[in-house]
Amino acid sequence: MIPTQWFLILSAILFSIGVCGVLTRKNGITIFMSIELMVNAVNLTFIAYARQFDQLHGLIFVFFIMAIAAAEAAVGLAIFISMYHHKDSIDVDDANLMHW
């Protein structure tokens, strides 16, 4: 059996890649993909712990997180479509109407 630490290290790396993606990318969809990567890294952490503790609790949490991520994706893509209508672009640097 693979030790739990390996899963935790992998999920920490995935989470960090996701954070870097959010901070460096300019395309809205790519940023959202990076956020999904972060959320899936969290899922991996939950599953690894649930396996180690032999509990159902962590697995149930994962199901809910997946549902949450799907709901967020639906609303998020609608927002991007609306932005595309206004600006012909989903580059977040173009969302610059407001600044102090």
Dist CA 61 CA 95 (whole Å): 34
Please report, as a single letter, which amino acid is at residue 8: L
Residue 10 in the binding site for other proteins (CB under 8 A)? no
Measured CA to CA in angstroms, residue 23 lies from 35, 39, 79, 97 at distances of 10, 16, 20, 20
Q: Does 2 bind other proteins (CB under 8 A)?
A: no
Please state the closest distance from residue 91 (CB atom) to other proteins, in A: 11
Spatial contact of 87 and 64, defined as CB atoms under 8 Å apart: no
Q: Which two tokens stand for residue 55?
A: 């509990």
Nearer to other proteins, 6 or 68 (CB): 68
79 lines the binding site for other proteins (CB under 8 A): yes
Residues that bind other proteins (CB under 8 A): 8, 15, 18-19, 22, 28, 31-32, 35, 38-39, 41-42, 45-46, 49, 53, 55, 57-58, 60-61, 64-65, 68, 71-72, 75-76, 79-80, 82-83, 86-87, 92, 95, 97-100
